[in-house]
Every structure is written in C-alpha cells, then in structure tokens.
Chains A and B, each alone.
Chain A
Amino acid sequence: MIEGYKRLMNIEEPLAPKTAKGFFTDTSLCIGCKACEVACKQWNQLPADGFAMTGNSYDNTGSLGATTWRHVQFIEQAKANGNGQEQRWLMMSDVCKHCANAACLEACPTGALVRTEYGTVYVQQDICNGCGFCVPACPFGVIDRTPKQGHFEAGTAHKCTLCYDRLKDDMTPACAKSCPTASIQFGDIDELRSRARRRLGELRARGESKARLYGMPEGQEAAEVGPLHAFFLLLDEPERYNLPEVPRLPRKTMAERYAWSAAVGVGFALVGALLFGGRR
C-alpha cells in the first residue's frame, strides 16, 4: 500500500550526494554585458519580460523573478568609495543563492523543492502545486510563481536551477559558460571558496577597502540561512546590492510564534471552562 501511495504521489528516494557545486560571482570583474541573463533565458527557454525602460542606469530587468534567473544590477555611485575616485559604477550579476538552510525549501508543503545531489535547491515542476508559500519566505526575493494562465509552466514556482540538467551531463551552467570576464565562476564549492579568499586579499591589497565576501561560512550573513552555494565578492556594503545584512530563516523563530498562539488558545479554553463551570 505504501508502495502504491509513493507511486501515486511521485515520491522517489533522494540521490546519493556528490561533490557540492556552486557559483562564485566576483562583482569586481563584472562589466554589465548581460550575457549571463541572455544565456540563462536561452538555455532554460524562459520567455522575455517585455521591453520596459526603468530609468535606473542600464538595468531594464529590475529584479529576479519566475522567468528571470540572472539579473545584472548597475549601481551608480557619485562618491562612495574610499579609493579617491570621483565616481564609480558597480555591477553585479544576481542569482538564486542556493542557501544551505533554504527558507523556500523549508516552507514548501509538497516536497516539490528539494536539495539536489550537488547541494543546490531545485523546484520539481511536476510536483509544485503553486501554493505560493516559498515566494514571501525567501529573504532575498528570488523565487516567484508564474501567472495561472500563460505559456510558460503556468501557476508553479520558478527560480534558478543552477542548470541542474547541464550539471547532470558534466556541463557548466549557461551563465558561467557565457561570462566573458570570469565574473561568474562555477565549480566545486570548496575550491571556489579558497579562490574567493585569495581574490579578496588581492583586492584589499590594491586599496579596495570596502571589498568583502557575502555568503561564506564564516560571514554573519550565514548566521541563519547558512553558507550560500552561490556567493559573492562585493565592493560595498551588502545593502547597496539589496542584500540583507543577516538574511532571516523563518524557522528560527517559529517555535516562539507557535507558543504565543498556543498560549492564547489554551488561555481561552481555560477561561471558557471556568465561565461555564463556575455556575454549574
């Protein structure tokens, strides 16, 4: 009977873990060419989002979403760095962070969101029923639900898969493959981390005093969501890139919230019992 239930509900055993893979996005190398956005759309067959002009520098993409899994930010700073330069232009290719403790995965009621054998976070499109709980759960505003009508996998949650299909065939994800400056680097997570530390040392030595890594195991941003499988080298404070200082994992405070709720419910039941029983 259990076997039948598993077949009916599409329940499979998780695959044995392999070497953890990820992205190291070195924003100091990004030139804002948006090749990553295009390659991602092309490989994953994601529809265009229209041709609206935002007026915000060269960014006409706006944000990550159900059909946009790489997003290049253009941050124009008049005098914001300590390097003595008059102005600078920060560029950053944003992506799903594939958190070690992923809020979307924990929120998912169907088990559609899973951790893959590469340690990445993946939405199984045949399982997701579009409940939408992962959308406000993500502290980075990455995952989104497509409209209920439309051509592209309507009504389910979507985000970067870290090219799970390409990984299965030992291929580099499309965005990293297309990046002309190696701003997006793909590889084994351990190797990427040591490479990132070396690179940070170089930049600091060159006077980039505000340079920092975001998403490393030792960083304060990993306090709740854990190390990020897609982590970044930033040239300014995280909030400048719309990244929260300490991204929240809803699970961390959930017990306390349930406790308050239960206290009110039990309190009411006791008062009610007394009010009825007091005059028996």
Chain B
Amino acid sequence: MSDGGPGYYDYPVVKRPVWTWEVPAYFWLGGMAAGAYLTASLAQNFGSAEDRRGAAGGYYVAAAALVPCAPLLIADLGRPDRFHHMLRIFKPLSPMNLGAWTLTSFTPIAFARAASHASSTGLLRGPLGLLARLVPTRLADLAGVVLGLTLAGYSGVLLAATNIPLWAKSKLLGGVFMASAMASGSAAVTLQAARRSVPDATLHRLAMVESAASAGEMAILTGYLVQSGKTAHPLTTGRFSVPFWLGAVGAGTLLPLLLHRVARRRQGRTLRTLSSAAALCTICGSLALRWSIFEAGKVSSEDQRASFDLARG
C-alpha cells in the first residue's frame, strides 16, 4: 500500500545526477586557478614591490591548475568525442555553456600572463620570451580577473540551477563555492611564497588575504546551512558529514584561520612552516567542500520528501 509516504511509494521525484568525481575535481582546480590569478593580480596592481614579487607566482599556479581542467570536463562527458559541441552555440542562460566559454577564454589568458611574468624575470628567454613581452599585462590582469571570477562563481550556480534539493534549496551555494575558490587560490599563492625567499611582511599580508576569504566562507556557509534546513541532512548528518565537518569546516577553514592567527606574531622559519601548513589545509578543505556537497547532492536527489518540499517553495 502506498499510503505511508506522501508520494508514489518511495521512488525519487528527480533523477540522480550522472556526474562523477571529475566534476568536483574540476570545480576545485578551476576555483583555485581563479583565486590564485586574482590574488596575484591584486598584489601586482595594489601591492608593494615585495608583494608583487612574492605573489606573482600565483600566475604560475593559475596556469598549472588550469591544465587538467579541460581534460577533466571532457572525461566526464557521455560522448567525449563531441566536447566541441559545448562551443557550438553561445548560450549564457545555461551555466554549463557559460562555463565552457569561460574556461576556453580564461585558460589562454592565464597562460599568456604566466609567460609574460616568466619573461620579465628572465625565466623565459628566446623568441617565446620576446613574444611574451608583448602581452599587455594590465589588460590581461583585468580580463583574467573578470573571467576568473566568472569561472570561480558559476560552478556553485550550475549545481544550484537544478532540482536537486541540497543544491537548490538555498540561494547561497554559488557564493559558498566562490569564497572557497578565493580561499584556496590565495592559499596556493601563500604556499608558493612560503617556499621562496619572500619577506615576512608579504607572507603576513597574504595570510590576511587568505583569512579574509576563509572567514567569508564560514559566514556564507553558515547562511547556506541555515537556509537549507532539514534539506542539508545528507551533508550534515550522513556519511558525508565527516569530510564536511572535519575536512571542509574544521581542517579546511577553522584550523587555517587559527594557524594564521598564531603565525601573525612569528617570523622566519616558524612563520613559513605555520603559513604553509595553514595554506595546505585550506587547499585540501576546498576539495573536501566541493566533493562532500557534490556527493551528498546525489543522496539528496533520492529524497522524495525533500523534493516535494523544494517544489512547495
């Protein structure tokens, strides 16, 4: 008898997403690339000479993190041989289409900017180095920041632009992913800076930038959980609660905030060790956040009551 539940036996109302691990991995790397590019550009245009030198490695981080992005996206397609159909039309109404165009345009800009920086430090010589010197850096910074913010910002909106209760109930998932991208991107810049001879003052500033993103992430994540209410249970209580609470929230956000706080009055080796540890935690936490929300969404898709609840508004 079907009189037990509100719906048709216990069949889900919506389909389970068919995406696999490539998608959260891509969101994580793409977000980190965007955050690193933005941090490097901010230092380049607003920072001191030491800040500029210390953070410029962010351009390399961005280019490197973008390398696996397109292959991951293509691997997740049902028909990878038709990946170019993504660029068959321009349809920003579809976040998937917007994302494909954004990745396609951000990747060459990030590479050109990294090459331009490499030529300015003498790392890239010869004809390629001469060519890289032609890149208009200010324009590349501006275009890269706009495209990078789009890349970091659309992923959460893409998941939310579905009928999966956990992803769609709150309107803040896009903001959560954006904050996480900024935190992991600035953390990657901190990490590379801590491994080079960068002045302590620059490391302190990078730590503050990263902490600002982490604090913002905590705030908007709290809003997301409050708005989601019971719908968030697959994330907060189920088998993904450990990667979420311990990984994304504890080790990925609160611990780095604490470590950077401790490192504020330290110098030299201690500062470098603490900053590196905090940055690594933030980067791993960002992956844990994407992965746990992504996988918990699949569980959420099977919850008939949550679907009805979502449709009732």
Contacts and interface: CB of A to CB of B under 8 A. Distances in A.
B78 A264 contact: no
Contact of B216 (A136, A264, A277, A279): A264
Contacts of A33: none
A53 B125 CA distance: 69
B47 A277 contact: yes
Nearest to A127: B85
A207 interface: no
A2 to B, nearest CB: 13
B3 A80 contact: yes
Nearest to A135: B15
A260 interface: yes
Interface of B is mostly: helix
Interface in B272-311: 297, 301, 304, 307-308, 310-311
Interface in A137-179: 137-146, 148, 154-157
Contacts of A248: 163, 168, 310-311
A20 interface: no
A12 B212 CA distance: 49
A148 B310 CA distance: 31
A180 interface: no
Given A261-B174, A262-B153, A128 B79 contact: yes
A266 interface: yes
Contacts of B16: 135-136
B51 A143 contact: no
B1 interface: yes
A247 B157 CA distance: 19
B1 to A, nearest CB: 5
A80 B5 CA distance: 13
B293 to A, nearest CB: 13
Given A145-B78, A275-B205, A276-B43, A265 B182 contact: yes
B220 interface: yes
B265 to A, nearest CB: 17
A266 B149 contact: yes
A244 B75 CA distance: 33
A280 B42 CA distance: 12
Nearest to A10: B88
A110 B88 contact: yes
Interface stretch (B90-98, B132-140, B241-249): B90-98
Given A127-B85, A141-B13, A109 B216 contact: no
B178 A264 contact: yes
B94 A133 contact: yes
B215 to A, nearest CB: 10
B161 A250 contact: yes
A240 B78 CA distance: 33
B56 interface: no
Contacts of A253: 160, 171
Interface residues of B, number: 86
A240 B308 contact: no
Given A76-B2, A135-B15, A242 B7 contact: yes
Contacts of B158: 133
Contacts of A219: none
B228 interface: no
Most buried by B among A127, A241, A244, A256: A244
A107 B38 contact: no
Nearest to A79: B3
A111 interface: yes
Contacts of B94: 106-109, 133
Most buried by B among A57, A110, A267, A276: A276
Nearest to B167: A136
B149 A257 contact: no
Q: A-B pairs with the 7 shortest C-beta distances?
A: A130-B78, A155-B78, A261-B174, A244-B311, A109-B97, A129-B82, A276-B47
Given A109-B86, A143-B15, A260-B174, 10 more contacts: A107-B94, A131-B78, A132-B18, A132-B19, A133-B96, A136-B14, A156-B79, A244-B311, A261-B156, A268-B213
29 contacts: A9-B84, A10-B88, A56-B2, A63-B11, A111-B91, A127-B85, A129-B77, A129-B78, A132-B76, A135-B17, A136-B163, A156-B78, A240-B6, A244-B308, A245-B311, A250-B163, A257-B160, A261-B153, A261-B156, A261-B174, A264-B182, A264-B216, A265-B153, A267-B216, A268-B212, A272-B186, A273-B42, A273-B45, A276-B46
